[in-house]
Amino acid sequence: MADLAQRHVPAGHTLRGVTMRAGPRQGIDLDAMQIAWRAVMLARGHADGEVALHCTIDPWNCTCTGCGSRWTSDAPAESACPGGCEAAPTFAGNSDLQVINIDVDP
């Protein structure tokens, strides 16, 4: 991701931030992602915090198999039908990993 962002920085500019979006099937832990990003940026010679990472994770799309209710959830294991059904829900989500935006300074 760092390589992808850097390839799109115009000549003579400096990368200052990356905004990314991930699907829930990526299984990304946001804290772990920040730690990894920091390590990569430090290894590339950037000062701590010089290049920010902003990451959002799409929620799971849930459907109750009993009543057909639909909802979204960030934590499907803790998710129950909002209609009160006891039926097990199904979960759908993508595995996208996209760089949405880069911030640069001249």
The 10s digit of each residue's pLDDT in 73-96 is 998 877 889 888 889 899 999 999
The 10s digit of each residue's pLDDT in 6-24 is 999 999 999 999 999 999 9
Domain span holding position 97: 2-105
Mean residue pLDDT across the chain: 93
CATH number for the domain spanning 15: value is 3.30.2320
CB 62 within 8 A of CB 91: yes
Given a cut of 90, whether residue 50 has pLDDT beyond it is yes
Count how many domains the chain has: 1
Measured CA to CA, the distance from residue 101 to residue 8 in angstroms comes to: 10
Given a cut of 90, whether residue 60 has pLDDT beyond it is yes
Count of alpha carbons within 13 angstroms of residue 85, beta-carbon side: 14
Q: What is the pLDDT of residue 96?
A: 96
